[in-house]
Amino acid sequence: MYTKELILLTGTTETRKTLVNQLQEVIGDFVRIHHFSIEEGIPHVFSNQLIILSTSIIEEETAPYIGSGCKVVVAKRTVNFEHIDKLLFLGYRQQSADFVR
């Protein structure tokens, strides 16, 4: 049984899926994670909740859904080292996004 819960708000569906999986691995046994994206739609205004925003870029768009009593944490991104070695082998003018797909 969960005694704590939080709301994860992201801009896109893919970011939501990625971040909720990461959060589930770390705190999923202790915290119920509700997750929504702007892309898919946020269903209602939240009150008295801990809300994690995936980036500061969505602060303005999500503001109408953050009601009274909410505590908001804005995530800061870090480098995902899973594919970092591939950056060493980038060709001249090759986009890094091409390499990690």
Strand partners of residue 71: 50
Distance CA(26)–CA(19), nearest Å, equals 11
DSSP type of residue 91 = P
Task: Indicate the pairing of strand 50-53 with strand 31-37.
Answer: unpaired
pLDDT band at 100; cut points 50, 70, 90? very low
Instruction: Tell me the average pLDDT across 33-38.
Output: 98
Distance CA(51)–CA(70), nearest Å, equals 7
pTM as predicted: 0.77
